Amino acid sequence: MMNRRTFTLAALASAAAPAALQAQQFEITRTEAEWRALLTDAQYRVMRDEGTERAGSSPLDKNYADGTYFCRGCDLALYPSETKYDSGTGWPSFYDSLPGSIGTKPDRKLLSVRTEVHCRRCGSHLGHIFDDGPQPTGKRHCLNGVSLVFRAA
């Protein structure tokens, strides 16, 4: 049975959880001012405030050239072009990342829990992972193009 005290404690714990996750230590760290100097407003909103770019707005969604996608925040190689596919969602989508390149955490901002994906080295928000992708993984890494830099092979 949930009383007022239990409800209040649960609400405080859930409110503190995102702050605890943001406090995670990463290999590459920058001050807010350094991030703002490095990124455009749109890039900052997505990569540092975990926003989402508008569907269909990224030229990387329809890019199928051979190469590698890197983190815009720290230049870590994240996704090979071999794992990119057209999900029809309007965001660049991949079924797998390069080994050791990403981290994940639960995202409880909406009514359901999603899996947020970020760069394991600098913590920049990339997007979300869903269970409706193609084989061999069955995963869809649905990413924000503003978080990525593509380099042709």
What pLDDT does 8 receive? 42
Which residues participate in catalysis according to the annotation? 142
Q: Is the dihedral of CA 18, 19, 20, 23 positive or negative?
A: positive
What contacts 92, CB < 8 A, 6 or more positions away?
58, 60, 61, 63, 69, 84, 142, 143, 144, 145, 148
What pLDDT does 48 receive? 97
Residue 54 has which token pair? 């508008």
pLDDT tens digits for the chain (153 residues)? 444 544 344 444 444 444 434 457 899 999 999 999 999 999 999 999 999 999 999 999 999 999 999 999 999 999 999 999 999 999 999 999 999 999 999 888 878 889 999 999 999 999 999 999 999 999 999 999 999 999 999
What contacts 148, CB < 8 A, 6 or more positions away?
60, 69, 70, 71, 72, 78, 79, 92, 126
What pLDDT does 138 receive? 97
Helix (H) or strand (E) holding 117: strand 114-119
Closest CA to 80 of 88, 69, 71: 69
Backbone angles phi, psi at 71, to 5 degrees: -70, 130
